[in-house]
Amino acid sequence: MRSWSFDVKRLTLGEMTERSLSEIAGGASLEAADPTSARVRAVAEARSAEPGPLLEILHDVQNEFGHLPESTTPVVAEVLNLSRAEVHGVISFYSDFHTAPPAEVTVAICRGEACQAVGAEALADYAKSRLGVDVGAHAKDGSVGLEQIFCFGNCALGPTASVAGRLHGRVTAERLDALIDDAQAGGSSS
């Protein structure tokens, strides 16, 4: 289950006016005070001449910031001459793109049929109880998040899990514990 969180901010009339004015001005005044927006613009402009570059730009922005900062939609829309709705539509379509910072350690469990055939569902249940979070959610302190993936292409050596970006095969509950402990201790798991 994907969970998308959107920050709905209540703006005062003054803020709204200020914001619309800055947008009318091409976002330049906003960026003067906001290095993130300026950086997003630079990343977007670096690829804007490529054909159909939106996904590539979003990947680049996310690689740099760990997530897509709030200014991504308006700034990228402007650079590519797209509507914000189009950019938002793309961001919300793909499960890789996150509008909020990721957890420090992300645990992703494969739920593909091949991994299910060797106990992936039990492993996912174990991960939920061990981490105290649901699939698609983060721990309140942001230390760890749990995700489901449909296939890492490791179908002969399941169950498969990725912990802090590293892929592991034949994962048991005990092994998952060790991998999570190791990742949270900041080590490189082996």
Which of positions 109-148 make contact with another protein (CB under 8 A)? 110-118, 121
Q: Identify the CA nearest to 4 among candidates 99, 103, 76.
A: 99
Question: Does residue 153 interact with another protein by CB under 8 A?
Answer: yes
Phi, psi for 168 (deg, rounded to 5): -135, 140
Cα-Cα-Cα-Cα dihedral of 74, 101, 15, 83, to 10°?
20
Q: Which of 30, 40, 71, 97 binds another protein (CB under 8 A)?
A: 97
- Asked if 83 interacts with another protein (CB under 8 A), we say no
Q: Is 159 a binder of another protein (CB under 8 A)?
A: no
Residue 75 burial (10 A CB sphere; 0-12, 13-18, 19+) = buried
Three-state DSSP at 147 gives strand
Q: Does 53 bind another protein (CB under 8 A)?
A: yes
Nearest to 22 by CA among 34, 30, 14: 30
Instruction: Decide if residue 178 touches another protein (CB under 8 A).
Output: no
Is 154 a binding residue for another protein by CB under 8 A? The answer is yes
What stretches of the chain show up as alpha helix (H) in DSSP?
13-24, 28-32, 35-47, 54-65, 72-80, 84-93, 113-116, 120-131, 173-184
Q: Which one of residues 13, 14, 49, 93 is an interface residue with another protein (CB under 8 A)?
A: 93
The stretch among 3-11, 14-22, 29-37, 167-175 that binds another protein (CB under 8 A) is 167-175
Q: Find the part of the chain contacting another protein (CB under 8 A) among 38-46, 127-135, 164-172, 178-186.
A: 164-172
Amino acid identity of 112? Answer: G
Q: CA 182 from chain center: how many Å?
A: 22
- Residue 173 binds another protein (CB under 8 A): no
Chosen residue from 26, 28, 94, 172 binding another protein by CB under 8 A: 94
Contact range with another protein by CB under 8 A, out of 17-25, 36-44, 105-113, 122-130: 105-113
Q: Which residues are at the interface with another protein (CB under 8 A)? A: 1-2, 51-56, 58-59, 86, 89-90, 93-97, 110-118, 121, 149-158, 160, 167-170, 190
